[in-house]
């Protein structure tokens, strides 16, 4: 290990005195590290929220509802107000110049712009 790395102490030591069980004992090498930790969706699913009184606030119940205000539409490329929408590429654009840019974009970029808005076509 290079001297400056050792000096900077950026590496976590493997043995720490204040721990009862060390990490290498708990997670032996060789076992797949990307373990079976449940993701949030799975955690929420396995919580039996239905078993408990329904007026208690839970992680799911405090989530916000969808917006009531009409959504303001802005141009995907420039950020100005965009009353227009291109049916072929499904992008929103603000004026004729931007439209020219929209039509000349290669497909990859179109999908990336749509992905920003979570509107890309995902083929599985």
Partner 1 sequence: MPFISQFQRQSDYNLFSPTTPIVIDNGASYFRIGWAGETEPRVVFRNIVQRPRHKVTGETVTIVGDHNPALMKYFDCTRSGPRSAFDSNVVYQFEIMEYILDFGFDRMGANGLEIDHPVLITECVCNPVQSRSKMAELLFETYGVPSIAFGVDAAFSYKYNQHHGVCNKDGLAMCPGFTTTHVIPFVDGEPVYKGCCRTNIGGYHVTDHLKQLLSLKYPYHLARFTWEKVEDLKMEHCYIAQDYASEAQLFRRGGKEAEEKTRCWQLPWVPPPTEEPPSEEEIARKAAIRERQGQRLREMAEAKRSSRINELENELHGLEFLLQQLDQVEESDIPSFLSDTGYVSKQEIESARAKVTQSLRKAKGEPKSDQAETERADSANSEKYSLINIPDETLTPEQLVEKKKQLALKSMSEGRQRSKQKRYEEEMQRERRLQLEEEKRLENPELYLEQLHAKYKDLSEKVDQRKRLKTNGNHTNGNNLSGGVGRGERLNAAQRERMRLLTTAAFDRGKGEDTFGARDEDWHLYKLMSRDNDDDDEGPDEDEAELARISSRLQDLDPTFVPKLDTGNAQSAEAVPRSRPLTKEDFQIIFGVERFRCPEILFNPNWIGVDQVGLDEMAGVSIRRLPDKDESLEERLTDSILVTGGSSVFPGMIKRLEAAIRMIRPCGSPIRVVRALDPVLDAWRGASAYASASLFHTQTFSRADYYEKGEDWLRGYQLKYTI
Does 96 sit near partner 1 (CB under 8 A)? no
What count of other Cβ atoms lies within 10 Å of the Cβ of residue 33? 7
Does 36 sit near partner 1 (CB under 8 A)? no
Q: Residues in the chain, how many?
A: 124
Q: How far is C-alpha 66 from the chain's CA centre?
A: 19
Which residues, listed in sequence order, are joined to residue 74 by a DSSP beta bridge? 81
Name the minimum Å distance from CB 86 to partner 1: 15
In whole angstroms, what is the distance from residue 20 CA to residue 102 CA?
60
Give me the residues that bind partner 1 (CB under 8 A), please.
Answer: 1-2, 4-5, 8-13, 16-21, 23, 26-27, 33, 35, 37-40, 43-44, 46-47, 52, 55, 57-59, 61-69, 71-72, 74, 78-81, 94, 104, 106-109, 111-113, 116-119, 122-124
């Amino acid at each position: 290990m290079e001297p400056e790395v050792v000096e900077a102490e950026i590496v976590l030591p493997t043995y720490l005195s204040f721990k009862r069980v060390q990490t290498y004992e708990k997670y032996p090498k060789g076992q797949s590290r990307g373990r079976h930790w449940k993701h949030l969706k799975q955690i929420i699913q396995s919580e039996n929220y239905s078993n408990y009184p329904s007026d208690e606030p839970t992680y799911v119940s405090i989530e916000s509802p969808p917006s009531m205000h009409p959504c303001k539409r802005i141009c995907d490329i420039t950020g100005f107000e965009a009353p227009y929408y291109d049916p072929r590429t499904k992008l929103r654009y603000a004026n004729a110049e931007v439209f020219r840019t929209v039509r000349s974009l290669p497909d990859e970029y179109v999908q990336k712009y749509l992905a920003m808005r979570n509107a890309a076509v995902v083929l599985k």
